[in-house]
Amino acid sequence: MNQNDYKDQFVWIIGASSGIGLALAQELSARGAILALTARRKPELEKLKADLGGRHKVFALDLTDARATLLTAQAICAAFGRIDRIIFLAAAYAPMKMDSLDITLVKGIVDINLIGAFNLAHAVLPIFKTQKSRGQFALCGSVAGYIGLPYGQPYSATKAAIINLAETLYAEFGDTLDIKLISPGFVRTQLTDKNNFHMPMIIEPEQAAKEIAHGLMSQRFEIHFPKKFIFMLKILRSLPYALSLRLTRIIKT
Ligand SMILES: NC(=O)c1ccc[n+]([C@@H]2O[C@H](COP(=O)([O-])OP(=O)(O)OC[C@H]3O[C@@H](n4cnc5c(N)ncnc54)[C@H](OP(=O)(O)O)[C@@H]3O)[C@@H](O)[C@H]2O)c1
């Protein structure tokens, strides 16, 4: 690790109150970044800020509120003078079977994972436009969005949409902005604690944070890890439907 490779960079982490976002805040703070810490749970963010020390600031926000997202983005820009990197990690997950959907929960998950991403893009793209320096906008998808697997909805559909959204952002802004897609495999967090099945090649959030910190500095569009797991799913995704769909049905049993 280069202790100072993020020195004095202003980084906005959305989803910093737990899991991968919290670990990323610790990692980037150790590497010199100045952070805007966002999520809904303000006490967790305040504790993180106190633990990290330094010049970090807390901006509690419910990303499903478009106006609040716009105002928060403007407030961060005013407080820091510029935003170098924006890392969207907020998400909700509740695995469901398609024949027993909780439709209120479905709406809530789509609201956070997908509408939240649009609220953020709507708020930050004008800010990036006014900044002279080339900023970075990173969206967290998931391997769950690569191909429709059993029992992962509606989370996996929102993650497929995030992959698509990141691709569009790259197509529209890739020449002026550094657009990144983060694609983790299984990471041990409160999100995956809900799973009652074996999670192959699961890693700790601290390791995920190191992968992300490294990847954000790279030229690559997609930051994916762990490599072996990703490789297998990318192969599955690239197969003709006649084969891949047969395999996803086997996973179900
Ligand atoms: N863990 C995995 O295996 C895995 C695998 C692939 C992808 N991912 C992705 O990695 C990212 C981080 O997940 P995680 O595993 O670290 O889960 P996590 O610990 O549950 O973190 C989710 C974060 O999102 C925030 N959040 C949720 N709703 C929000 C809202 N409406 N407004 C603002 N913030 C909100 C949460 O904070 P508050 O509750 O305080 O708002 C929390 O900080 C997610 O995008 C997830 O889909 C995770």
Give the Å distance between the CA of 154 and the centre of ligand 1.
Answer: 15
Q: What CATH number labels 10-252?
A: 3.40.50.720
Residue from 12, 13, 35, 40 to probe ligand 1 pocket by mutation (most atoms less than 8 Å from CB) = 40
Segments making up each domain of the chain, as ranges: 10-252
Radius of gyration in angstroms for the set of CA atoms belonging to the chain, rounded to a whole number: 18
- Can you tell me whether residue 188 is helix, strand or coil? coil
Give the Å distance between the CA of 19 and the centre of ligand 1.
Answer: 7
- Please give the pLDDT value at position 4: 85
Tell me the C-alpha distance between 160 and 146, whole Å: 6
Residue from 27, 86, 158, 189 to probe ligand 1 pocket by mutation (most atoms less than 8 Å from CB) = 189
* Element of type H or E holding 175: none
Instruction: List the structure tokens of 236.
Output: 């599955």
Closest residue (by CA) to atom 20 of ligand 1? 191
Give, in degrees to the nearest 5, the angle at Cα 94 between 90 and 96.
145
List, for residues 160-206, the tens digit of each pLDDT value.
999 999 999 999 999 999 999 999 999 999 999 999 889 999 999 99
List, for residues 205-250, the tens digit of each pLDDT value.
999 999 999 999 999 999 999 999 999 999 999 999 999 999 999 8
For residue 67, the tally of other CB atoms under 10 A from its CB is: 9
Those residues with Cβ within 8 angstroms of residue 101's Cβ, 6 or more apart along the chain or in another chain: 153, 154
Place of tokens 């928060």: 72
Those residues with Cβ within 8 angstroms of residue 228's Cβ, 6 or more apart along the chain or in another chain: 201
- Can you tell me whether residue 202 is helix, strand or coil? coil
List, for residues 29-64, the tens digit of each pLDDT value.
999 999 999 999 999 999 999 999 989 999 999 999
